[in-house]
Amino acid sequence: VNKHSAENPLLPSCRRASELASAAVDRELTRRERWALRFHTLLCSACRRFAAQMRLIHQLFADISDSRRQRLQIRTLRLPRQSRQRIKQLLWEEGNRPPQK
Ligand SMILES: [Zn+2]
């Protein structure tokens, strides 16, 4: 999966791409970041899957009503930082698992 791991601002590593995809849930990406992520996911199916999962999470948050979102945010805040990192890590590993066939 990590064939293109050299740090190139135009073609970020899988690690960097997954960071950008995760960050997109929490904040608006800069134009440069969006392009880097888009370019990477064009070439890398693992990160494309991961970015799709992240977009889904983002969508879920965007679609629910404000009151519901407030409750969810409270719950999310109560999740220890470590747990949230673990969830991200698990999703990342899932997205980067080599194909079974
Ligand atoms: Zn990748």
Q: How far is the CA of 63 from the centre of ligand 1 (A)?
A: 28
How many angstroms separate the alpha carbon of residue 82 from the centre of ligand 1?
Answer: 24
Contact 47, 94 (CB under 8 A): no
* Whether this model's pTM surpasses 0.75: no
Nearest to 52 by CA among 61, 43, 41: 41
CB-facing half-sphere around the CA of 38: CA atoms within 13 A: 7
42 Cα–ligand 1 center, Å: 9
Rg of the chain (C-alpha set):
15
Confidence of residue 34 (pLDDT cuts 50, 70, 90): very high
* Percent of the chain whose pLDDT exceeds 70: 60
Instruction: State yes or no: pLDDT of 38 exceeds 50.
Output: yes
pLDDT (mean) for 26-35? 90
